[in-house]
Amino acid sequence: MTEQKFVDRNSAGRRRNDKSHKAILQAALDLLEQDGYRALTIEAIAAQAGVGKQTIYRWWPSKAAVVLEAFTANAATQIPQPDTGSLRQDLQEFFAATLHAGGERTALVLRSLMAEALLDPEFAEQFLHIFIYARRNALGELLTRGVQRGQLAADVDINFLLDLVYGAIWYRVLVQHAALDEVLMEQLVDMLRRYNPA
């Protein structure tokens, strides 16, 4: 599966003060959880982190960009890349990591970023390439290995499978009509394995 290429202009160049950088990212996440995205401001982030507003604007163009980097830099949200030789085990490990990262704080951040992406086309491009495409590519590579090992049908449409998986996950994150839980993850594993060679 071809990885979409994207250069994040906001991360270009060496950070001048790593301590301030980390403090800003942590402040953004803490305030987001405490007050919600709508109440979050650059001024509040700066005050919480003990830096000036100009420091934040030198590194990020908006609060959404700060939150996106804070979220993707969090170790709990790193993309899993299991390669055990077994499609089922790879899928189980991938979805287990997804579930582990999918607590209420994560769901809150994702809902906020998705809402911002709908209103800001420039941020939407960043969100797609930094977060959405990266996760699609990781699962797509896992499924491609399944095809190469003969564990998935050779003619399977991997992009369609990715839409099915992430459609189900995003629907639960955004609509909140049902839990993002182990039952769903196992259902996704079983659904994908039905596309095994005839």
pLDDT tens digits in sequence order for the chain, 198 residues long: 444 433 344 444 444 689 999 999 999 989 988 898 889 999 999 999 999 999 999 999 999 999 999 988 875 567 888 999 999 999 999 999 888 876 777 888 899 899 999 999 999 999 999 999 999 999 999 999 999 999 999 999 999 999 999 999 999 999 999 998 999 999 999 999 999 886
What predicted TM-score, i.e. pTM, was given to this entire model? 0.80
Count Cα neighbours of 147 within 13 Å in the Cβ-side half-sphere: 14
Q: Domain 11-62: give its CATH code.
A: 1.10.10.60
Return the amino acid letter for 4: Q
Q: What share of the chain is helix, strand, coil (3-state, %, to 5)?
A: 70, 0, 30
Number of Cβ atoms within 10 Å of the Cβ of 187: 13
CATH second-level architecture of 75-193?
A: Orthogonal Bundle (1.10)
CA dist., res. 154 & res. 188, Å (int):
19
CA dist., res. 113 & res. 154, Å (int):
36
CA dist., res. 29 & res. 107, Å (int):
12
Domains of the chain, residue spans = 11-62, 75-193
